[in-house]
Amino acid sequence: MASNGTYTVNVSVVDNATKQLAKINSSISNLQKPYNRLAKQIQNFEKLSGLKTLREQTSKLIQPLGV
């Protein structure tokens, strides 16, 4: 019977640790959301405006020059 009590306490400690890690992960994820949305919008803008293609073509031109 005593070992069941210890086992329950150990599971409880692990559950509490998992709960705290989940909280930390959620906070980190929430901090990253605005940046991820901005990055996605910038990528979409580059694609729609043609800037991505312009940048790629410019890089291909400059690269052989060693600049």
What CA–CA distances, in Å, run from 36 to 33, 56, 61, 66?
Answer: 5, 23, 31, 33
The per-residue pLDDT for range 3-15, each reduced to its tens digit, is: 555 555 555 666 7
Identify which of 43, 39, 40 has the alpha carbon closest to the alpha carbon of residue 51.
43
| Mean pLDDT per 10-residue segment, the chain (67 residues) | 54 76 95 96 92 90 82
Q: In the chain, where are the structural domains located?
A: 2-65
SS3 66: coil
Q: What is the pTM of this model?
A: 0.53
